[in-house]
Amino acid sequence: MTEFLAVLVDGLIYSSWLFLIALGLTLIYGVMKILNMAHGSFYALGAYAAASMVGYWLNHGHAPMASYGILIIAAVLVGVIAGPLVERGLLRFMYGRDEMVLLLVTYALFLILEDVIKLIWGVDPYFVSEPYSLLGTIDIANLTYPYYNFILVGVAVLAGGAVALVLQYTRQGKLLLAVIHDREVSLAMGINVSRFYLVTFTVGTALAAIGGALTAPTVSVVPGMGVEVIVLAFAVVVIGGLGSLQGAALGALIVGLVRSAAVHYLPQVELFCIYTVMALVLIFRPKGLFAAAEVRKI
Amino acid sequence: MQRNASHVLRAVLFAFCLVLVSTMVATPGAAQQPVKVGVVTFLSGAAAGPFGVPAKQAAEVMVEALNAGGKVPGYHAKGLNGAPIELVIIDEAGGTTKQVTEYRNLAQRVDLVIGYISSGDCLAIAPVADELKKLTILFDCGTPRVFEDASYKYLFRTGATSTMDNVASAMYVVENKPGLKKIAGINQNYAWGQDSWNDFVATMKVLKPNVEIATAQWPQLLSGQYGAEISSLLSSGADVVHSSFWGGDMEAFVLQASPRGLFKKSTVVLTCGETGMYKLGNQIPDGTIIAARGPFDMYAPDSELNRWFRKAYMDKFGGVPPSYPSYKMAQALLGLKSAWEKSKVQSPADMDKVIASFEHLTFEGPGGKVTMGLGKGHQAVQGMVIGTVKHEGSKVTYVNVKHYPADKVTPPEGVKAEDWIKSGFKK
Amino acid sequence: MAVILNTKGLRKSFGAVTAAAGISIAVEADSVVGLIGTNGAGKTTFVNMVTGYLKPDAGDIFFKDRDISELHPRDITRLGICRSFQIPQLYDSLSVFENLVIALGIRDRNVHGSMLSRTFKLVPAANPLVVAAAEKSMQRFGLLEYRERAARLLPEGVRKLLDIAMALISEPEVLILDEPTSGVSADEKFAIMDMVMDAVRSHGCTVMFVEHDMDIVTRYAPRVVAFYEGRILADGKAAQVLSDEQVQTYVIGGLRTLGTGASDVSHA
Amino acid sequence: MTHTDKTPFILLLALVVLLALGPFLPNWLFLLTMSLGKGLVVLGLVVLLRTGLVSFGQGLYYCVGAYAVGSLSQFASVKNALLLLLAGTLVSAILATILGFLLANYRGIFFAMLTLALSMIVYGLLVKTSALGSTDGFNVAPASLLGKVISGQRNQYPMFALACIVAFVAAVLTNSYLWTALGQLSSAIRDNEIRVEYMGASVRSAIHTKYVLAGALAGLGGAVTALAIGHIDPEMAYWTTSGEFVFVAILGGTGSVIAPFLGAIIFEFIRTYAYQYSPNTWQLVLGTAMLLVIIFLPAGLWSAFARLRRRT
């Protein structure tokens, strides 16, 4: 029983981590129909930025508590700098090209960013573990968890909720939904699609960076940390149904729980479980759990 | 012409001195052609930080000193028999398919190759080295399969296999925790992790037949998130947790596990822990058992050579001490130098002489004596050292340091490591 | 005359909307039938059911006394029922010639067993027979001048023609045209229908066409079936049906608002 | 598109030139052999791309083909190169036939992702099989042909020649297939599946056939690579490997069966030079090269050559 509780808690923590990363990915896909391979690089950028900024802050003996704020600031900075740079500087010249071409553009971008990161931060690991242990720990199912883990859960819920609310209740959000539903019609209706693309991509990038920034204190920030998360995030988004918010949430939850169950009860299969889940979901729901509705052709 | 004469003169004088100080004779003339040494090590990806770059930097320090001559204690002759060493460095990232291709390209440009951290790459390169008749020195990769599955003429490995890491760790654990009943493991889900865990468990089964395996965790390589694994380790109630994690994964594991009290509940053995120690510093809890894949870094002997190496390295790279990959790279270069000068060859042309004198060679590295004792004289054997972390104020020290002589932790010639362990370490 | 196509009590509803509430039509071989009705009256749904694109909720479809209501479009096509589309369904990135060659390639498979066994012997574009057939068809529908133009670049009228030409490639026994002249300028529409009718007459073929344009209906369809809200309002000789009171109010009235020359109908 | 297809003659010319030049560039033979192996996989991918399908899991068949070769020479000590290549192709084709029943229902990104998932599952299985060396894989013994050892030799020419001939045959067959009615269906299916069905052809079975062809070619490519490298490991099934194939396919273009080989060769050369002359930033170089191609040659490198040919 206690082990089962542990499965739930571990699963929940892992899910929120996944969701934070997948959220930006699914948002960008939903609006721009770009499956962004470089998403992982933005995650890494966020981690590096956070690690060096918080490191600087603490080394100068400032209040450790403020480091949480700095994590977020670092991520947002990455978002508002890298996002527009990439969207205006590269992607906007590619719109209208095939989805796969766009996928490859972002793949090229991913390769480039890998080295850019290396040129800026080198290959040595960065640590900022202080924020992780700062808040102390709590015992659940006679296991110790740092409170920080639950901050991650909180942020994930917050981010998801915020995006959902914006889409549902603000005018801009409704317009965005229109763009998601049908780009051509929205254009015809005079919606400034390119502005929405810019905003969406920036927000998506920032979300990836936040994911990275909040992960930084729990890991050693090293080259290549972005590679592994890409395909994970893809799996989550595809399971949920591309471009679907609740899909990403459900996908993250499923993957998170399945993985943590595997770790607790059957560690041998950890390697497959995510892809098996993805394959199974696609076999039974070919377009993911929350598939977009098909329009009648003739 | 004038220049040439002065060259000869200088060379003769130089040679004369050499005769006095050592048996190594650098004969004039040919001694000026540089020997091109290809160095293959991770410059990108996750293995660059902990292994690739420290190794590369060590190569640069050593070559600089060797070419200058008279700096490296015990290796005073310039370069290789007076011939300067020229490094050609390429990235090891990208998988075996790409590495074999790059190895073939590199082989055209250099006289010999030193490199390879990934066991997969080592296995793939091995037959190609013999095919191209290109002297190739593996400096770090751990799998014993290289010389167990086959034997090669042009291939050498100046670092010991990973067998001794885990055999010795198991012995150390048993000696220091005689009461242990349950062991657990967390290892990356790939060949390195699997082999390490298997050797550790096999040794345990021999030393403590009734030991129970609480859980064996297999996170994916570079997954970075170990929450669930740590929970499972915590609830497993194991006395000892074995991990062959390296680099970022190892550091992430420590950062995530120590606030959750895993290091208090059980004794953690990190067989590759050393690479992270300098950066992790106080993050690493007291009582953690750390190995360095040999007598390297903090476990290195207090020899003149080692003192020089540490100083030279730290001077060049802003006070960062060399970690075991640096030591192993230095070891490879010194092995090469010894063999080269023992064979008295003048030019890379007669490489076969170098190879002949490399076989069964014994030489001094910053980590102490290295003997090319296995694989028909192509595979190095070395003693193993393990210790336990103890913080002295803000300073990390290592207590209860145990040395394991080579023959206690490595199988005899012609016996596969796993069979040797299962046989109860028969000699 | 023998009934070639016979539907009995076809029902189909999408959620709350009933698109077909028991459609029963018997079509004689070599006859020409016009289907009229306002938008949403259920004409296209009927066509989609007959051609296997939609499965009827209830009722049966017989083609020469064989029940085809469970078959796929491809099987029905192979049996000899072909259709054209309201929105032309073409291979937009390919030229007119390529569109037809592909159609012919598929027909050859349908006519002569296994595609692989045959096609490895025959590269359609290299086969004089195929090229000749394609050229004949282009010539018949006045497509020669567009031979090498990509389908997506064709004017709407030409797209319609190509769409119909492809439907006719496999010389069907029953040809169903879904609004052949919609989106075509008034001066083109008769030309199009004439071409189609010539082509059809060259080999015996039953024709059923959905139309909003009463000029076309009156000129080409001896028999007319009027649809209204998924039911058949009237079915019989064109003159009767078109003069039928209900048809006048519900169908033609509805269509007049579309201004599709229903004015002519009054003195038809 | 009247059938004035010169491709077979160009291919024959290329074959002759390669075989003739081979002896004079011994240092490039290995790289070229590898490129041809990769080109074969990409050729299969091009067949799918023409149908509007992108597989992110061709690595699966590439790997299975290689492992078929490796296991046969390891455990059944089969040494005949042709036999091994045949085996690699067949095993992949069979697997593709089975998986094809499932995958023929998928389109677009979901096809891509399902193929990716399947190949990653195979990757996982291999990593778990320590009998096959887990991630370290194992070495493939040199194979022979006509009683002469051709792979794992200092002299790369025989292996290179074999690769050339295999690639030539595969390319010619694929090319003639693409000209058949079934082959022509590719663009038809990409453009309008409804019309294809209404013409009386089964989209599903057409896609299935193409998928099997692509799988078989990937298997053949893997087999060639396994013989040339002399070592195989699960990395071949990892998603980044499959991604690289897609990259090369786009780089080369889908305009001709020659394009994949062109793309593969140029890709290998760019990468090798990047590796040797900017070891610290080769990914940056590769990524930039890729962007330039996508921006300036939307239809791939082949389009540039096609233009030249039209001019002359």
Confidence category of residue C122, pLDDT binned at 50, 70, 90:
low
Distance from the Cα of A298 to chain C's closest Cα (Å) equals 7
The pLDDT of residue D108 is 86
Task: Name residue D172's amino acid.
Answer: V
Confidence category of residue B226, pLDDT binned at 50, 70, 90:
very high
Quick check: B124 and D235 CB within 8 A?
no
The pLDDT of residue C189 is 87
Averaged pLDDT score across all residues of chain A: 92
Answer yes or no: is B94 within a domain.
Answer: yes
Displacement of CA D285 from its chain's centroid (Å): 23
Tokens matching residue D116 = 């990716």
Query: Which among D117, D194, D284 has the least Cβ separation from residue A278?
Result: D117
* A143-152, A159-168, C253-262: least confident range: C253-262
Kindly report, residue by residue over D216-263, the tens digit of the pLDDT: 999 999 999 999 999 999 999 999 999 999 999 988 999 899 999 999
Q: For residues D90-114, give the mean pLDDT.
A: 95
What gap in Å lies between CA D90 and CA D87, rounded to an integer? 5
Which residues lie across from C226 on neighbouring strands?
C36, C234
CB atoms within 10 A of CB A192: 12
The pLDDT of residue A297 is 60
**Greater model confidence, C136 or C266:** C136
B113: left (phi over 0), alpha (psi -120 to 50) or beta: beta
Q: For residues B18-25, give the mean pLDDT.
A: 42
Kindly report, residue by residue over C44-76, the tens digit of the pLDDT: 999 999 999 999 999 999 999 899 999 999 999
| DSSP H or E stretch at residue C228 | strand C223-228
Answer yes or no: is B286 within a domain.
Answer: yes
Distance from the Cα of B14 to chain D's closest Cα (Å) equals 36
Averaged pLDDT score across all residues of chain B: 91
Chain length of chain C: 268
Kindly report, residue by residue over B156-204, the tens digit of the pLDDT: 999 999 999 999 999 999 999 999 999 999 999 999 999 999 999 999 9
Beta C3-14 vs D231-232: how paired, if at all?
unpaired
In what order do the strands lie in the sheet containing C81-83?
C81-83, C174-178, C206-210, C32-36, C223-228, C231-237
Answer yes or no: is B43 within a domain.
Answer: yes
> Rounded to 10 degrees, what is the CA torsion of B45, A79, A64, B285?
-20
In this structure, what CATH number is given to the domain that contains residue B148? 3.40.50.2300
The pLDDT of residue B2 is 44
Q: Is the pLDDT of residue B31 over 60?
A: no
* Cβ-Cβ contacts under 8 Å, A117 against chain D: none
Q: Is the pLDDT of residue C105 over 70?
A: yes
Looking at chain C, the domain(s) classified CATH 3.40.50.300 span 1-80+174-195+205-268, 87-171
Residues 6 or more apart whose Cβ sits within 8 Å of residue B133 = B154, B351, D154
**Mutation choice for A interface testing from B255, B263, B280 by most A CBs within 10 A:** B255
Answer yes or no: is B27 within a domain.
Answer: no
Q: Could you give the 3-state DSSP secondary structure of residue B306?
A: helix
What percent of chain B stands above pLDDT 90? 85
Answer yes or no: is B135 within a domain.
Answer: yes
DSSP line for chain D: --S---HHHHHHHHHHHHHHHGGG-HHHHHHHHHHHHHHHHHHHHHHHHHTT---S-HHHHHHHHHHHHHHHHHHS---BHHHHHHHHHHHHHHHHHHHHHHHTT--HHHHHHHHHHHHHHHHHHHHH-GGGTGGG-EEPPPPEETTEE-SSSS--HHHHHHHHHHHHHHHHHHHHHHHSHHHHHHHHHHH-HHHHHHHT--HHHHHHHHHHHHHHHHHHHHHHHHHHHSEE-GGGGSHHHHHHHHHHHHHH-SS-TTHHHHHHHHHHHHHHHHHHH-TTSHHHHHHHHHHHHHHH-TT-HHHHHHHHHHH-
Q: Is the pLDDT of residue D4 over 70?
A: no
What gap in Å lies between CA C200 and CA A54, rounded to an integer? 80
**Residue in the block written with tokens 């063999």:** B339
**Greater model confidence, D3 or A82:** A82
Q: Is the pLDDT of residue D1 over 70?
A: no
Interface confidence (ipTM) of the complex: 0.90
Residues 6 or more apart whose Cβ sits within 8 Å of residue A42 = A24, A78, A79, A82, A83, A113, A205, A208, A209, A212, A226
- Looking at the structure, do residues B158 and B179 belong to the same domain, yes or no? no
Tokens matching residue D63 = 């790997």
Quick check: B105 and D31 CB within 8 A?
yes
What gap in Å lies between CA C74 and CA D189, rounded to an integer? 14
Q: Is the pLDDT of residue C264 over 60?
A: no
Quick check: A9 and B255 CB within 8 A?
no
- Looking at the structure, do residues B194 and B149 belong to the same domain, yes or no? no
* Cβ-Cβ contacts under 8 Å, A220 against chain B: 247-248, 251-252, 255, 276, 279
User: A10, B226 in Cβ contact below 8 A?
Assistant: no
Domain count, chain B: 2
Kindly report, residue by residue over C151-172, the tens digit of the pLDDT: 999 998 899 999 999 999 988 9
In what order do the strands lie in the sheet containing B240-243?
B212-217, B182-186, B240-243, B267-270, B289-291, B384-392, B395-404
Kindly report, residue by residue over C108-119, the tens digit of the pLDDT: 766 555 555 454
- CATH top-level class for C87-171? alpha beta
Which CATH superfamily groups domain C1-80+174-195+205-268? P-loop containing nucleotide triphosphate hydrolases (3.40.50.300)
Distance from the Cα of A97 to chain C's closest Cα (Å) equals 15
* A125-139, A219-233, C79-93, C180-194: least confident range: C180-194
Distance from the Cα of C34 to chain D's closest Cα (Å) equals 21
Q: Is the pLDDT of residue C258 over 60?
A: no
Tokens matching residue C66 = 């064989």
pTM, two decimal places:
0.92
CB atoms within 10 A of CB C154: 21
Which residues lie across from B268 on neighbouring strands?
B241
What gap in Å lies between CA D196 and CA A276, rounded to an integer? 33
- Looking at the structure, do residues B320 and B372 belong to the same domain, yes or no? yes
What gap in Å lies between CA B330 and CA B311, rounded to an integer? 14
DSSP line for D123-181: HHHHHH-GGGTGGG-EEPPPPEETTEE-SSSS--HHHHHHHHHHHHHHHHHHHHHHHSH
The pLDDT of residue B349 is 82
> Could you give the angle at which helices D81-103 and D108-128 cross, rounded to 10 degrees?
130
What gap in Å lies between CA B224 and CA A113, rounded to an integer? 20
Answer yes or no: is B81 within a domain.
Answer: yes
What gap in Å lies between CA A153 and CA D92, rounded to an integer? 44
Q: Could you give the 3-state DSSP secondary structure of residue B57?
A: helix
Which residues lie across from B138 on neighbouring strands?
B115, B157
What gap in Å lies between CA C50 and CA A195, rounded to an integer? 47
The pLDDT of residue A13 is 97
Averaged pLDDT score across all residues of chain D: 92
The pLDDT of residue B52 is 96
Which chain D residue's Cα is nearest to A275? D117
Kindly report, residue by residue over D47-93, the tens digit of the pLDDT: 999 999 999 999 999 999 999 999 999 999 999 999 999 999 999 99
Find the domain containing B388 and state its range. 163-292+383-422
The pLDDT of residue B16 is 43
Quick check: D124 and A286 CB within 8 A?
no
